[in-house]
Amino acid sequence: MGLPLTAENYQVTQLDNDRWSVTDIAGTQVYLGIGPVEIAGA
Backbone angles phi, psi at 2, to 5 degrees: -85, -25
Residue 15 is assigned to a structural domain of this protein: yes
> How many structural domains comprise the chain?
1
Backbone angles phi, psi at 41, to 5 degrees: 80, 5
Please list, residue by residue across 19-42, b when 16 or more beta carbons sit within 10 angstroms of its beta carbon and e when fewer do.
ebebebeeeeeeeeeeeeeeeeee
pLDDT given at position 2: 66
Residue 20 is assigned to a structural domain of this protein: yes
Residue 41 is assigned to a structural domain of this protein: no
Residue 22 is assigned to a structural domain of this protein: yes
pLDDT given at position 15: 86
- pLDDT surpassing 80 at residue 39: no
Residue 5 is assigned to a structural domain of this protein: yes
pLDDT given at position 37: 61
Give the structural domain span for 2. Answer: 1-36
Residue 7 is assigned to a structural domain of this protein: yes
- pLDDT surpassing 60 at residue 41: no
Residue 42 is assigned to a structural domain of this protein: no
Residue 25 is assigned to a structural domain of this protein: yes
pLDDT given at position 12: 87
pLDDT by residue (tens digit) across 1-36? 467 778 888 888 888 888 888 899 988 988 888 876
